[in-house]
């Protein structure tokens, strides 16, 4: 015997929205977790880019900082896509992500 939730809870934050999506407490929790994860990923991007900007061009650690920044930006982009945000141009502009970091992602 299969159990189904009442039809008012049939919407799912993972599968898309429904008319009653705001009524499902689980969907609300999932949306909150997605937003929190996106915020944390954004903070990691800010921190890694700040460290990269502060490093001297001839610094021996610059390569490691560049890789760390690229990894943070990549994780942020993945999290954005999981939240349904497909275009990254605004994030690139807002965070001032340098082309050398984007080149490490395969983006131009």
Residue 1, in any domain of the structure: no
Residue 70, in any domain of the structure: yes
Lowest mean pLDDT among 12-16, 37-41, 89-93: 12-16
Residue 7, in any domain of the structure: no
Q: What percent of the chain has pLDDT over 70?
A: 76
Q: What is the pTM of this model?
A: 0.73
Comparing CA positions, the residue from 99, 107, 53, 51 lying closest to residue 78 is 107
In terms of residue numbers, what domain contains 76? 36-108
Quote the number of domains for the chain: 1
pLDDT category, 23, cuts 50, 70, 90? low
Mean pLDDT of 12-21: 52
Residue 5, in any domain of the structure: no
């Amino acid at each position: 015997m299969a159990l189904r939730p009442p039809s008012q809870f049939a919407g799912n934050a993972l599968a898309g929205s429904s008319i009653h999506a705001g009524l499902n407490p689980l969907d609300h929790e999932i949306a909150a977790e997605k937003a929190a994860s996106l915020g944390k990923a954004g903070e990691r991007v800010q921190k890694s880019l700040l460290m990269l900007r502060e490093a001297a061009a001839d610094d021996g650690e610059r390569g490691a900082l560049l890789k760390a920044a690229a990894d943070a930006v990549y994780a942020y982009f993945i999290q954005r896509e999981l939240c349904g945000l497909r275009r990254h141009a605004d994030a690139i502009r807002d965070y001032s992500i340098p082309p050398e970091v984007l080149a490490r992602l395969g983006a131009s």
